[in-house]
């Protein structure tokens, strides 16, 4: 992977307001692959005291965002289909990993998995992006 693209995506994700609100951190990035993490805090609970689906979805979307843009050109989400399987323990570190499973000139498909720190599968997602023919706007020229 181009180191300039890698550094730019790490820096941009650190600054992203939505990700900062949830404490989402990019921890690994390769071409077509990303891993992010966040701590499940009490302000992410639903009415039953479990992790809100929106919090888990947001984490998985962040992994998807990083992986799909890792080629250095803009990629925007077309669809995401998620299956919720379990809720993480309160206070646990939750990870999401996105892996590119197919890439064409115009689209790319991803398999995304969320797990808790014990490796238990929390959610699975299939996602599709539209690959634009524009460089990432935050890359220095």
Residue 140: the pLDDT is: 72
- pLDDT band of 141, cuts 50, 70, 90: low
Question: What is the C-alpha separation between 112 and 90, in angstroms, rounded?
Answer: 22
Question: Does position 73 have pLDDT exceeding 70, yes or no?
Answer: yes
The H or E element spanning position 15 is: helix 3-15
Q: What is the CATH number of the domain that holds 88?
A: 3.10.129.10
Range of the domain at 63: 3-135
Q: For the chain, how many structural domains are there in total?
A: 1
Question: Does position 110 have pLDDT exceeding 90, yes or no?
Answer: yes
- pLDDT band of 29, cuts 50, 70, 90: very high
Residue 50: the pLDDT is: 96
Question: What is the C-alpha separation between 96 and 58, in angstroms, rounded?
Answer: 10
pLDDT (mean) for 69-98? 97
Residue at 140 is within a domain: no
CA distances from 89 to 41, 44, 60, 92, 124 (A): 10, 12, 17, 6, 18
């Amino acid at each position: 992977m181009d180191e300039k693209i890698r550094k730019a995506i790490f820096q941009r994700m650190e600054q992203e307001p939505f990700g900062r609100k949830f404490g989402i951190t990019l921890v690994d990035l390769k071409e077509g692959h990303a891993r992010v993490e966040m701590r499940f805090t009490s302000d992410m609970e639903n009415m039953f005291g479990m992790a809100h689906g929106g919090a888990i979805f947001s984490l998985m979307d962040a992994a998807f965002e990083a992986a799909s843009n890792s080629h250095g050109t803009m990629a925007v989400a077309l669809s995401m289909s998620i299956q919720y399987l379990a809720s993480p323990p309160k206070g646990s570190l939750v990870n999401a990993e996105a892996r590119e499973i197919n890439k064409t000139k115009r689209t790319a498909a991803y398999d995304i998995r969320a797990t808790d720190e014990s490796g238990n599968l929390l959610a699975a997602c299939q996602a599709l992006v539209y690959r634009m023919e524009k460089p990432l706007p935050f890359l220095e020229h």
